[in-house]
Amino acid sequence: MHDALIYICDDNDKKAFQRFSVFDRWYKKSSMTNYITKLDNIIEFDSDTETIKLYTSLMFHKENTNFKTITEAFNNISNVLNGEKP
């Protein structure tokens, strides 16, 4: 099982946090917690006109042998968006 999924909650209607919370609640109540790891990362970065907040999560199978590489890449998204080197 080498699949991984990153998702970002859309905030066009200013409801990203609500989507993020609902999805988290769904995950915690599901049986997926037995075999899927879910990591959350709320990323803030500056655009030309505002500070943007992205509600993101990473999901991968607990037996994924690439978990270290996957989590490092996921955690570096914030650095890249803020102009830092990973």
Q: Is 77 among the domain residues?
A: yes
Range of the domain at 66: 4-81
Q: Is 86 among the domain residues?
A: no
Q: Is 58 among the domain residues?
A: yes
Separation of alpha carbons 70 and 74, rounded Å: 6
User: DSSP E strands: which ranges in 1-86?
Assistant: 4-9, 36-46, 51-61
Separation of alpha carbons 83 and 85, rounded Å: 7
- Whole-number pLDDT of residue 1: 65
- Whole-number pLDDT of residue 86: 62
The DSSP symbol for 74 reads H
Q: Is 34 among the domain residues?
A: yes
pTM, 2 dp: 0.84
Q: Is 45 among the domain residues?
A: yes
Q: Is 55 among the domain residues?
A: yes
Q: Is 25 among the domain residues?
A: yes
Residue of 12 and 64 predicted with greater confidence: 64
Number of domains in the chain: 1
- Per-residue model confidence as pLDDT tens digits over 26-57: 999 999 999 999 999 998 888 888 888 899 99
